[in-house]
């Protein structure tokens, strides 16, 4: 019995990291997210619609063919198709975004804490990259052309930049219905309330006046 118990512990230890790696597997065909809790079941952060009341529109998102408005400081626009935009994604562990770039537009350094991202360039060319974790902090970067595909591992800081003089468009799939986004500059210098100046000054080895200047900027939420 001792051997069986030890084997069970080993299998549990091996399985534990996987269990927390991504969205849980669904235990039913559908769980269309609804805001009304009346006679609904709460699953994975959302209430589920009665399966007998499902319609095709629960699994439909329209308009991803329309360009996003890139007239902002970054020159880019992310159009998400997460569970909030497409309720039928609930419990399915997948989502999608369209990213539009004006010439020299940037999708700034950010992370997705709950999802790996795979990106394909539809139009134009993009310079992309991600940074590995401590202690190496190695930049893995590549220039992508139309039809090229690149993967950004879950949780790592990454970016996309249009170095060309024409617009660029990309589609990304993510391994979560709600992968989350942490834009580094927004989180560090635009938090509410602000992170203490002395903390940021010491962390970035900058004068507090520089920190005050950075915190006073308008950080675009993309």
81-136, pLDDT tens digit by residue?
999 999 999 889 999 999 999 999 999 999 999 999 999 999 999 999 999 999 99
Cross-strand pairs, 97 = 80, 172
- CATH classification number, 1-180, choose in 3.40.228.10, 2.30.30.30, 2.60.120.10, 3.10.20.30: 2.60.120.10
- Look at residue 84 in the predicted model and tell me its pLDDT: 92
Compute and round to an integer the Cα radius of gyration of the chain.
21
Cross-strand pairs, 81 = 96
**Backbone phi, psi, residue 168, to 5°:** -135, 150
**Gap between the Cα atoms of 91 and 49, Å rounded:** 12
Helix (H) / strand (E) containing 173: strand 168-174
Query: 43: helix, coil or strand?
Result: strand
pTM: 0.82
CATH 2.60.120.10 domain residues, the chain: 1-180
- Look at residue 47 in the predicted model and tell me its pLDDT: 80
**Backbone phi, psi, residue 7, to 5°:** -65, -40
Residue 203 token pair: 């962390």
Residue 35 banded pLDDT, cuts 50, 70, 90: confident
Mean pLDDT of the chain: 87
């Amino acid at each position: 019995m001792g051997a069986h118990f030890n084997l069970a512990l080993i299998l549990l230890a091996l399985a534990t990291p996987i269990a927390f790696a991504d969205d849980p597997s669904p235990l039913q065909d559908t769980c269309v997210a609804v805001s009304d809790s009346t006679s609904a079941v709460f699953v994975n952060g959302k209430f589920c619609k009665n399966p007998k009341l499902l319609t095709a529109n629960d699994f439909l998102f329209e308009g991803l063919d329309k360009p996003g408005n890139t007239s902002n400081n970054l020159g880019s626009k992310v159009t998400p198709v997460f569970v909030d935009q497409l309720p039928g994604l609930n419990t399915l562990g997948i989502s999608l975004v369209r990213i539009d770039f004006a010439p020299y537009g940037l999708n700034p350094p950010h992370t997705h804490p709950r999802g790996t991202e795979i990106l394909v360039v539809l139009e134009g060319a993009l310079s992309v990259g991600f940074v590995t974790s401590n202690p190496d902090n190695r930049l893995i970067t590549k220039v992508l052309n139309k039809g090229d595909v690149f993967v950004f591992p879950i949780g790592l800081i990454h970016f996309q930049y249009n170095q060309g003089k024409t617009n660029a468009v990309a589609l990304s799939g993510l391994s979560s219905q709600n992968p989350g986004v942490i834009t580094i500059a927004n989180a560090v210098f635009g938090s509410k309330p602000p992170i203490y100046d002395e903390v940021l000054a010491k962390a970035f080895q900058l004068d507090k006046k520089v920190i005050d200047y950075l915190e006073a900027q308008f950080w675009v939420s993309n």
